[in-house]
Amino acid sequence: MNGFDDFSRPMEYISPLDRHFRSVLRRYIEQEVMPFRRQYDEDWKDHAIIEPAFDKLMGELGLQKALFPPEHGGWGITRSDYIFRFAYMLCEELGRADTGMAVALAVTFWPLLVILVEPFVNERLIAEFAPMFCNTKKAVFAANAMTEPQGGSDIENMGLLRGRTIRTTARLEGDQWVINGHKLWPTNSGGAASLFGVPCTTRPGSDDLNDFAFIYVPAGAEGVTQGGPYEKAGMAADKNGDIFFDHVRVPAWYRAHGPGSDAEAFYQLIPFGQVASSAFLTGAMMNMYERLNEFVSSRTYRNRPLKENDAVAAIIGRIAGDIDICRILGHEAAMMGDRRNKPYGLPLTSEELVGKIRNIKDFISDRAVENFGKAMDVLGLYGPDRDWDIEKHWRDIKIIQLWMGGKQLCQMESARYFFNCETV
């Protein structure tokens, strides 16, 4: 009998860690996440069940230190030529179990990439923050404190808006940055994160990328206030809330790089986020296949398994085909990101890379939403039944389709590259 591992992936793209680490991660998932994931929805506020699972994943397995160099106690993944493919493997495996848990881990990496990926490396800040993540067995979270009330995902739209809608300000006073502003919705806010990466402006209303600043702020700094977590439709393992910065002071050297370089290093986060999103979705779809396969194989119609009905077989065959195609595309996107590999070699900030990877994420998002809907139709009355997990995944993956600017920004960035659009 075939299983979810039989879906295609380009084997020549697989990272050296893939085979061994997948087995370790899968064993953790089967023991620590799968049996409890339905309870996560009710645990969205306190994380009494979720937090111990994160401690084992991030602290005991050591994933939270994966990006840091070995001399600081990490694994050195950012120095490898397979960081995107490692991230894809990690996010796909976790996405199969719970995409909320997957995004909480992945976004802990996200703001740290700004100082860890060549050519934008800040050794002083690496030494400052590495002990926080590498010297503990408890889960430690970071948040990319980006979204603002008035602008939604405008900050990610660097190609057109270039930071001019940012209202969180940073003013240099002596050897300190003074930060004021309001962020909302960041993954790992709502009281979870210990460290924020904060996109700011040094000159409100400016579209000069030299005025864009990316500054790190410890969650415990004076003047930082966090609201409680939101109750959402899905993604219960990922806390989201409001963050207020009221004359928060941090050392001047907590700025990632400096004028111009901050914007360029920040823009690298877009392809990372899109590849991780694609992996969350393919992982969720593979678990949907598992549950759907169990249902159509165990339920009967006219004394035959449901899957042997022509109409049902046509639907589940198309679902399987879409999963297969999406998984190939997800690995292709990861390979594009690992730019030291041929045939791409594209900088992470290139319009071509961003446009193509956004295309892939948009395509996979649409297929995931569509196919989870089809799966719920096949299950009929059992489709919204929590015991089958299909509705849980559907609630989660719909959020993935919407974030990072949703379909609209994916389409606009693709149009900018392929059609040379300048005003959208």
Residue 343 has pLDDT above 90, yes or no: no
Tokens for 21, please give them: 């680490």
The residue to which tokens 């914007």 are assigned: 263
Show the DSSP H helices in 205-309 as ranges: 261-267, 269-298
Preceding amide of 111 cis, omega within 30: no
CATH code for the structural domain at 266-418: 1.20.140.10
Query: Residues 242-262: what's their mean pLDDT?
Result: 98
Evaluated on CA atoms 101, 188, 86, 346, the torsion sign reads positive
Supply the pLDDT for residue 340.
Answer: 62
- 3-state SS class at 108: helix
Give the pair of three-digit tokens for residue 44.
């969205």
Contact 285, 391 (CB under 8 A): no
Residue 345 has pLDDT above 80, yes or no: no
Concatenated DSSP letters for 84-106?
HHHHHHHHHHHHHH-HHHHHHHH
d(CA 342, CA 73): 31
Contact call for residues 9 and 331 (beta carbons, < 8 A): yes
Q: Using DSSP, state whether 196 is helix, strand or coil.
A: strand
Question: Over the stretch 375-395, which tens digit does the pLDDT of each residue have?
Answer: 999 999 999 999 999 999 999
CB 277 within 8 A of CB 227: no
Residue 370 pLDDT more than 70?
A: yes
**Bridge-based pairing state of the strands 193-201 and 141-144:** parallel
Q: Model confidence over 105-164: pLDDT tens digits?
A: 999 999 999 999 999 999 999 999 999 999 999 999 999 999 999 887 789 999 899 999
Query: Encoding tokens for residue 146?
Result: 């980006």
CATH superfamily of 4-140: Acyl-CoA dehydrogenase/oxidase, N-terminal domain (1.10.540.10)
pLDDT tens sequence across 318-341: 999 999 999 999 999 999 999 665
* Closest C-alpha among 164, 241, 245 to residue 206: 164
**Single-letter amino acid code for the residue at 10:** P
Q: Which amino acid is at 344?
A: Y
pLDDT for the residue numbered 349: 87
Distance of CA 174 to the CA centre of its chain: 36
What is the Cα–Cα distance from 157 to 143, expressed in whole angstroms? 19
Domain ranges of the chain: 4-140, 144-259, 266-418
Residue 229 gets which letter from DSSP? P
Retrieve residue 70's tokens. 């070995």
Fold adopted by 144-259: Butyryl-CoA Dehydrogenase, subunit A; domain 2 (2.40.110)
Mean pLDDT across the chain: 95
Dihedral (Cα; 244, 188, 140, 260), 10-degree rounding = -70
For residue 300, which of 291, 310, 289, 309 has the smallest C-alpha distance?
309
pLDDT digits (tens, 9 = 90+) for 169-214: 999 999 999 999 999 999 999 999 999 999 999 999 999 999 999 9
Q: What are phi and psi of 52, to 5 degrees?
A: -60, -35
Helix 99-116 to helix 123-134 angle (10° resolution) is 150
Structure tokens at 415: 């149009």
Residue type (1 letter), 328: I
pLDDT for residue 84: 95
pLDDT band at residue 347, thresholds of 50, 70 and 90?
confident
377 vs 373: CA distance, rounded Å: 6
Sign of CA dihedral 341, 156, 100, 63: positive
| pLDDT > 90 in the chain, percent | 90
Exposure pattern of 155-173 as b/e (b: 16+ CB <10 Å)?
bbbbbbebbbbbbbbbeee
Residue 1 pLDDT > 60: no
- pLDDT for 153 equals 77
C-alpha span between 134 and 154 (Å, rounded): 33
pLDDT beyond 90 at 346: no
- Using the Cα atoms of residue 354, residue 358, residue 104 and residue 209 in order, give the sign of their dihedral: positive
Owner of token pair 């070699």: 345
Res. 342 pLDDT band, cuts 50 70 90: low
**Per-residue pLDDT, 19:** 86
